[in-house]
Amino acid sequence: MEPTALDGISTNTPHTSGGDATHIVQPSYPVRVWRNLSRMYTYYLEKTTIWTKSRWVAFFIACAIYGIRVYFLQGFYIVTYGWSIYLLNLFIGFISPQIDEDSNAPVLPTRDSDEFRPFQRRLPEFVFWKRAMQATIIAIIMTFFPFFDLPVFWPILLVYFIMLFTLTMKEQIKHMIKHRYVPWSHGKKSILIDLTAAAALYGKKDSFVQVLDSKTFSKTVIQSNELWVVEFYADWCGHCQQFAPEYEKAAKAMAGIVNFAAVNDQAVMGPYGVQGFPTVKFFGDDKSKALDYNGPRTADGLVKYSISQVKKAAKDRLAGKSKPKKAKKDQSGGGKSKGKADTPPEGNDEDVIVLTGNNFEKLVMQDEKSVWFIEFYAPWCGHCKALAPHWTAAATQMKGKVKFGKVDATEEQSLAQRFNVQGFPTVKLFPAGKKSDTLAVDYQDARDTSSIVQFAEKYYTFAKEATQLLNQEDFEENCKNNVCVIAFLPHILDSGAEERNAYIKEYNDAVRANPGIPVHYYWSQGGDQFDFEEALRLQFGYPALVAVHLSKGHYGVHRGGFDEANIRSFVSGLMAGKVTLDPIPKNLPKLRTVTAWDGKDAKPAPEEDSEL
């Protein structure tokens, strides 16, 4: 993944009537005030995400205040009805899954990432609380305005609400029973609970399906001369639960003709490229070539497919084209499979810090000096198990530079929701400097040690101070695929060395405050690159600050003061997508090559003798 700061940032591209020139729109004072208030509101709201119990206590206190107001005023029943209906809708969204299990899924094997996707609420807990709290506060405010106290016979509203609540919850409960989930957890158990309370889908005494694992799979299937249909499944998978009765029926119908087996073991699944559940494969005479079953998830579909494979095998044997044979190599034996990463170097498990809801804020979010690389995982996830040794090895290699952590998202569900974890493993990098939920960078590169280390190194090794921009080559090399922030300082003749050093110190203080943010920082003497400055509309005076990303084709101008706080705010806003950007003009002038500043005051020009 390319760690650029301009990804996802809104752009503003108003044009003047004169060709390619762009015009930067300066928002009005009220708009700027509103934006600042909005940022403050968002900032402090984010701080409350970890205080779940306190937030809900505050909500119920607000509800009590509203109830007391309505009781003593003996009115505002229509407001209460609307408020109650809104809260009911929020509650339904909270207890509903974001992705419904579809019992009519068309074919197998599925390529969905069901194995690696946790139960996701349609309305996350924090959003549920925020909207409910906002609605309650608005309802309280409305009780101070008689205009909203519409005359209504309140018993009718109460009956309507009870009927609506009953019908809505009835449908919701039917949905829960159909798809076998409970929308809450007990202690720290998984949020997805099988309502059948069955420990496993197969393995009953009268079952025609053989349950196999890594110890029995090779001997039973690979080394046999018989034909096998094998389902790779997981007990918690909704599709698997719905498919199990059909699979049992097919196994019973084909008994004595084709064997049916079920496997719930990651060690067996890996070599066969199982990417989702359930996956069904057919093992014929050549056990080294497992065939995917792409038919419907019904007993009839499985039986028809099995019969067709039996006919094909019989014809091939009759014609001498094939005969029962064993695989040359046991694919489930744990050997290296094609396309798999090499064995990672050894790592120390102690170099990966275990993070929980109790220590995450202190260790990560309040640590401004360190870069944090964090994996959100699930203990049952096959990809997570494959990543684990590489993650540990990378943590050991980067020890002292980048901190590595891991979060069990099945136990720390509030953290998973907070950072929008929708699959396992999810890996996020938190740059050094002030931490924010919005500044976390998603890692989407390869899951091997070298790729992880390379990505972490990139964030660790960004410059810790600004350097002078001397030529076009440096500009293109460092600003093509990354963000560059360039400060144009007053000419040395106008400021002197002392004032320039003061500007550079203020600039570098801001740079050092955010050492892990992937930004290159430069400064240039005002006027040395006049054409370049003019093209980016920087003629309003010095010092001036601009952010440029060549490959993205956008730039943003800082309009605030030139001090550490304002510069940091500009860069943070840039990374969070809160800075308005404009397109880089076509034919942007190239930079002139200049001489590096020697750190001294400018030498006065020699005076020329003049004749009187």
For residue 28, give the DSSP letter: P
Which among 92, 93, 94, 112 has a CA at the least distance from the CA of 102?
Answer: 112
Distance CA 482, CA 518 (A): 7
Q: Are strands 441-442 and 426-430 parallel, antiparallel or unpaired?
A: antiparallel
Residue 52 tokens read as: 């779940």
> Which sign does the torsion angle of CA 553, 37, 515, 500 carry?
positive
484 and 519 Cβ atoms separated by less than 8 Å: yes
Domains 209-318 and 349-460 belong to one CATH topology:
yes
Distances (CA, A) of 95 to 100, 128, 241, 244, 369: 12, 10, 21, 26, 39
CB-based contacts of 530: which residues, under 8 Å, 6+ apart? none
Catalytic residue among 63, 384, 479, 484: 384
Q: How many CB atoms lie within 10 A of CB 314?
A: 10
Task: Classify residue 190 as exposed, middle or buried by CB count within 10 Å of its CB (0-12, 13-18, 19+).
Answer: middle
For residue 270, give the DSSP letter: G
Q: How high is the pLDDT of residue 281?
A: 94
Q: How high is the pLDDT of residue 544?
A: 92
For residue 347, give the DSSP letter: -
Options 3.20.20.70, 3.90.550.10, 3.40.50.150, 3.40.30.10; CATH for 349-460 is 3.40.30.10
Superfamily of domain 209-318 in the CATH hierarchy:
Glutaredoxin (3.40.30.10)
Q: What is the pTM of this model?
A: 0.36
Largest CA-CA distance found in the chain, in angstroms, rounded: 123
Q: How high is the pLDDT of residue 592?
A: 92
Q: How high is the pLDDT of residue 360?
A: 94
Compute mean pLDDT per 10 residues along the chain, 612 residues long, and list them. 41 39 56 77 70 89 94 92 93 74 40 44 81 94 92 89 90 74 48 40 82 87 91 81 91 92 83 79 87 91 94 87 54 39 67 93 87 90 87 91 91 88 87 76 84 80 75 88 90 90 88 70 92 88 91 88 87 78 90 91 64 48
**What stretches of 342-424 adopt beta strand conformation (E)?**
352-354, 371-377, 402-408
484 and 522 Cβ atoms separated by less than 8 Å: yes
Q: How high is the pLDDT of residue 143?
A: 93
Catalytic residue among 63, 237, 479, 484: 237
Catalytic residue among 63, 381, 479, 484: 381
Q: How high is the pLDDT of residue 8?
A: 38
To the nearest 10°, the Cα dihedral for 334, 338, 342, 343?
A: 0
- Cα angle 506, 364, 356 (rounded to 5 degrees) comes to 170
Which among 434, 363, 435, 433 has a CA at the least distance from the CA of 403?
Answer: 363
> What are the boundaries of each domain within the chain?
1-45+463-595, 51-179, 209-318, 349-460
Q: Verify whether residue 63 is a known catalytic residue.
A: no
Per CATH, the number for 1-45+463-595 is: 3.40.30.10
Which among 471, 468, 479 has a CA at the least distance from the CA of 548?
Answer: 479
Asked if residue 543 has a cis previous peptide bond (ω within 30° of 0), the answer is yes
Task: Indicate the residue type of 453.
Answer: V
Q: Verify whether residue 479 is a known catalytic residue.
A: no
Q: How high is the pLDDT of residue 41?
A: 76
Q: How high is the pLDDT of residue 3?
A: 39
| SS3 labels along 177-246 | HHHCCCCCCCCCCCCCCCCCCCCCCCCCCCCCEEEECCCCHHHHHHCCCCCEEEEECCCCCHHHHHHHHH
Q: How high is the pLDDT of residue 323?
A: 66
